[in-house]
Amino acid sequence: MNEEEENEEQAQETQALIPIVQDTITFNGKPLVVVRLPDGRPGVVLRWICENLHLAPNGQVVRIKRTEVIADDLVYTQVQTEGGFQNMPTLVLDSVPYWLATIDTRRMAKDDPNRIEILEYQRRAVAALYAWAASIPKAIASPMKLVPAEPITKPTVPADDASLDEWREYHRQMVIWIDWQHDIETWRGKVETWQGSVESRLEGVEAMTGLIPEILERLGPEKLHAEHQEKVQQYVEQLCEAAGKHRGTIYTRLHSAFKVPRYQELLESDWPKVENWFNVQIELAKKKK
């Protein structure tokens, strides 16, 4: 895959479709993950069907993209897996027969189990897939559009000896991650309301939203913004020069004045007082010279 194709694939993944139905069917004793796209078309997630046929999914994606007649039917969908949501290449069902038929088995030995498996899929899998599609109603109250679905990674818990800044950033990222999960679940909840099964989805949404007040409470008052932290450092340098004191001495006086262990723990709401404290200290130091 060249650089242009890689860029195109990345762009498609960030505009993944959120299916209105995801299901797993069994064919020849192995699972196949199938979806109904927002526009009502059924599709097959390539990962599982390729694994069952011992084919490399990436190689098949490239092959499909280079086959003009079916290239437009390759889309990316957000698939729920044991590890969370993942954006995966999916082939619209109408193009699956052509794709399967073009898998070449002539170079394989007649008794090769992989060849026999591929032939089974070429002969019978499409009928099983269409039978599933016929059993799932299209039922969409209004047309659905592409949904931006760029995943947000759950933050890693800091080490026990991490700084307060690191813990604050961790909790801030947790709120962002939970909000993203909430948005996804809310969207799915609306779709499933149209299908009459919203109750079970809302339980998951309520569980996640219930965590937000607790996290916000643990975050506490807003600490000094990054730009004001930089301003503190500048004031310290000015006071060092004016008073002829070591930086550590000035930081100690600042921490003592505002009863904080370090300047990063100063409250943003106290910034006017902090700035005034520095101005007064600098003026006093200048008068003593």
**pLDDT tens digits for range 100-156:** 999 988 888 888 889 999 999 998 998 889 889 888 765 443 444 444 455 677 888
Question: Is the distance from CB of 136 to CB of 191 less than 8 angstroms?
Answer: no
Query: Residue 98 has what pLDDT?
Result: 92
Q: Per residue in 196-232, pLDDT tens?
A: 543 544 454 455 455 556 655 665 678 888 889 999 9
Model pTM greater than 0.85? no
Q: Per residue in 228-278, pLDDT tens?
A: 999 999 999 999 888 888 888 999 999 999 998 988 889 988 999 999 999
**93: pLDDT strictly greater than 80:** yes
State the CB neighbour count (10 A cutoff) for residue 285. 17
The two tokens of residue 39 are 């526009």
Half-sphere exposure at residue 200, Cβ-oriented, CA atoms within 13 angstroms? 4
Query: Residue 118 has what pLDDT?
Result: 92
Q: Is the Cα torsion angle 223, 225, 228, 232 positive or negative in sign?
A: positive
Q: Per residue in 24-37, pLDDT tens?
A: 999 999 999 999 99
